[in-house]
Amino acid sequence: MKIRNNALAGIALAATAVLGLAACGSGSAAPAGSSAAAGGSAAGEITVYNAQHESLTKEWVDAFTAETGIKVTLRQGDDTEMSNQIIQEGQASPADVFLTENSPAMAQVENAGLFADVDKATVDQVPAEFRPSTNKWTGIAARSTVLVYDKNKISADKLPKSMLDLANPEWKGKWAASPSGADFQAIVSALLELKGEAATQAWLKGMKENSKAYKGNSTAMKAVNAGEVDAALIYHYYYYGDQAKTGENSKNVTPFYFKNQDPGAFVSISGGGVLKSSKNAAAAQSFLKFITGKKGQEVLQKGTSFEYAVASDVPSNDKLVPLKELQAPTVDPAKLNSAKVTELMTQAGLL
């Protein structure tokens, strides 16, 4: 999920610092490197097109620059905005590295033939379930689909067995989502891959009938908390991030995990890749190796992102339901199709 406002980039950056998880990054960030003496073997400077939450990537960049002396310039946008930009720029792209919140935008750049192979040392520290079969990019973090709901409105025995149930008439007017965001569209891309086009079309039709649209996952969760709507289909870290702060936007909210390999148990992989056109390939590869390495993954374990760690045997934050207990469906992230999802959601009147 991204809330963007280029004209107010400076203000939005300040707001990001205050709101943390409540607002994803916005506008273009200032160069995040320091002038520390180069200490690594891949000295230089890289530009990262960043669609991950800006606060998380800044933590990675600061640690990486402190260790290697390599300066990193961040350009901030949302998943498909940045993937489209990379494709449009082609060989002339100033991007050395692309980081996303979700896999479909990575698959799009991969399909355009613009990624270099990920270095073997990096691939070796990421388990196969958290990277595409092609190794043209790698998982860097993960997030789980979750239904957050108001216990006072929905008793445990009335919770849906499957995310697909949310298209049934009994759920009319009872749930919310942020259909315009890359996070939600990744969930739809998994549904498409798991159940096919006809089932996805039918579910989206039911969603249009039944759901309320909000802009942003935090906004949808706040609506549940405020009693505007009974439940919202979002990612888990919005809940845990709020709980770790004041909890004021989630005190009336309980997370429910679908499990059973349901499409609603989809775990979305955030991706990182090095552009084939990079003039600083060694430094770019070392950045990817760093964020999937022990120190990079510990940023996920100990920081405030509440996203799952996926590599280098680093455990996730112990406040989270362990990944292994989520019973996520198996989806090859290289097969997720953002263009088809946009088409189907537009047809359904959701975009």
Residues of this chain that bind Fe ion (CB under 5 A): 1, 183
Given a contact cutoff of 8 angstroms between Cβ atoms, the answer to whether 287 and 296 are in contact is: no
Nearer to Fe ion, 1 or 291 (CB): 1
Name the minimum Å distance from CB 234 to Fe ion.
9
Amino acid at 281: A
Name the minimum Å distance from CB 213 to Fe ion.
16
Q: Are strands 71-76 and 254-256 parallel, antiparallel or unpaired?
A: unpaired
Nearer to Fe ion, 56 or 126 (CB): 56
Name the minimum Å distance from CB 218 to Fe ion.
9
- Neighbour tally for 61: CB within 10 Å: 27
Strand ranges for the chain from DSSP E: 45-50, 71-76, 97-99, 138-149, 175-177, 211-213, 231-235, 254-256, 267-274
Q: Cα torsion at 159, 262, 168, 191 (round to 10°)? A: 140
Nearer to Fe ion, 185 or 210 (CB): 185
Residue with tokens 């489209």: 84
Report the alpha-carbon distance of residue 283 to residue 279 in Å, rounded: 9
Nearer to Fe ion, 183 or 242 (CB): 183
Name the minimum Å distance from CB 224 to Fe ion.
17
Q: Are strands 211-213 and 254-256 parallel, antiparallel or unpaired?
A: unpaired
Residue nearest to Fe ion (CB): 1
The C-alpha angle with vertex 92 and arms to 131 and 141, in degrees rounded to 5, equals 20
Output b/e per residue, 83-112; b: 16+ Cβ within 10 A.
beebeeeeeebebbbbbbbbbbbbbbbbbe
Tell me how many helices (H) and strands (E) the chain has: 12, 9
Nearer to Fe ion, 1 or 267 (CB): 1
Report the alpha-carbon distance of residue 214 to residue 16 in Å, rounded: 19
- Give the ranges where 293-337 is alpha helix by DSSP (H): 294-302
Nearer to Fe ion, 150 or 183 (CB): 183
Name the minimum Å distance from CB 42 to Fe ion.
30
Name the minimum Å distance from CB 237 to Fe ion.
7
Nearer to Fe ion, 71 or 143 (CB): 143
Name the minimum Å distance from CB 69 to Fe ion.
31
Name the minimum Å distance from CB 95 to Fe ion.
21
Report the alpha-carbon distance of residue 234 to residue 255 in Å, rounded: 10
Nearer to Fe ion, 22 or 46 (CB): 22
